[in-house]
Amino acid sequence: MTIGVLALQGDFEKHEAILTRLGVASRQVRKPSDLDSVDALILPGGESTTIGKLMVRYGLDCAIQQRVAHGMPVYGTCAGMILMARAIVGSDQPRLGLMDIAVLRNAFGSQRESFEVDLPFEPFERPVRAIFIRAPIVVEVGAGVSVLSRLEDKVVAVQQGALLATAFHPELTDDARVHHYFLEQVK
Active-site positions? 78, 169, 171
For position 45 contacting ligand GLN by CB under 6 A, the verdict is: yes
Q: What is the dihedral of CA 31, 32, 37, 40, to 10 degrees?
A: 100
Under a CB-based contact definition with an 8 Å cutoff, are residues 181 and 165 in contact?
no
Residue number, 69 or 110, with CB nearest to ligand GLN: 110
Interior CA angle at 88 toward 86 and 93, to 5°?
95
Enumerate residues 56-85 that contact ligand GLN by CB under 6 A: 78-79, 82
Q: What is the dihedral of CA 80, 7, 4, 15, to 10 degrees?
A: -70
For position 46 contacting ligand GLN by CB under 6 A, the verdict is: yes
For position 107 contacting ligand GLN by CB under 6 A, the verdict is: no
For position 106 contacting ligand GLN by CB under 6 A, the verdict is: yes
74 vs 4: CA distance, rounded Å: 9
Enumerate residues 113-172 that contact ligand GLN by CB under 6 A: 133-134
Residue number, 39 or 140, with CB nearest to ligand GLN: 140
Residue number, 39 or 173, with CB nearest to ligand GLN: 173
